[in-house]
């Protein structure tokens, strides 16, 4: 698709030093991260960015209420579900759900179930 717009000589020169698999992997992770961050409403996303910037990536630099708010916002992002989805998307072999999402009572497992149901409903429409 892009080759029709750029001279073949330029594409050949660029592709020599470009690790395609790594670029593809990073793009897949970026899409997944965007979906997870999009779960937060805009005001919570701004607040999360503010807290991370204020703490400079270290929750110990925040006051106790701010650190608690940061933990709450990060929990809403469902980091275990993100990690499980990333491994599932990138792994050539199936990984047991118990390892990816924890026990049956784990919130990440329930979130994964809700996500699958939403995808099925979207596909049915």
Give the residue among 66, 72, 39, 38 at the shortest CA–CA distance from 53: 66
- Is 46 domain-assigned? yes
Q: Which domain holds residue 52?
A: 41-76
Note whether 3 and 13 are within 8 A (CB): no
- Is 59 domain-assigned? yes
pLDDT tens for each residue of the chain, 125 residues long = 454 555 566 555 555 666 777 888 889 899 999 988 888 899 999 999 999 999 887 878 899 999 899 888 888 888 888 888 888 888 888 888 777 777 878 777 787 788 788 878 877 87
**Which pLDDT score, from 0 to 100, does residue 46 have?**
94
- Is 67 domain-assigned? yes
This prediction has a pTM of 0.63
**Which pLDDT score, from 0 to 100, does residue 18 have?**
67
**Which pLDDT score, from 0 to 100, does residue 99 have?**
76
Give the residue among 78, 102, 98, 82 at the shortest CA–CA distance from 90: 82
- Is 85 domain-assigned? no
């Amino acid at each position: 698709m892009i080759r029709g717009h750029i001279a073949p000589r330029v594409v050949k020169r660029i592709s020599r030093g470009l690790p395609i698999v790594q670029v593809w992997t990073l793009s897949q992770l970026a899409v997944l991260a965007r979906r997870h961050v999009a779960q937060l409403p805009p005001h919570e996303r701004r607040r999360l960015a503010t807290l991370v910037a204020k703490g400079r990536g270290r929750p110990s630099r925040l006051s106790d209420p701010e650190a608690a708010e940061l933990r709450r916002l990060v929990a809403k992002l469902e980091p275990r579900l993100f990690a499980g989805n990333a491994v599932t998307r990138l792994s050539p072999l199936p990984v047991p759900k118990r390892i990816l999402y924890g026990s049956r009572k784990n919130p990440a497992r329930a979130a994964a179930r809700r996500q699958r149901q939403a995808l099925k409903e979207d596909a049915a429409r």
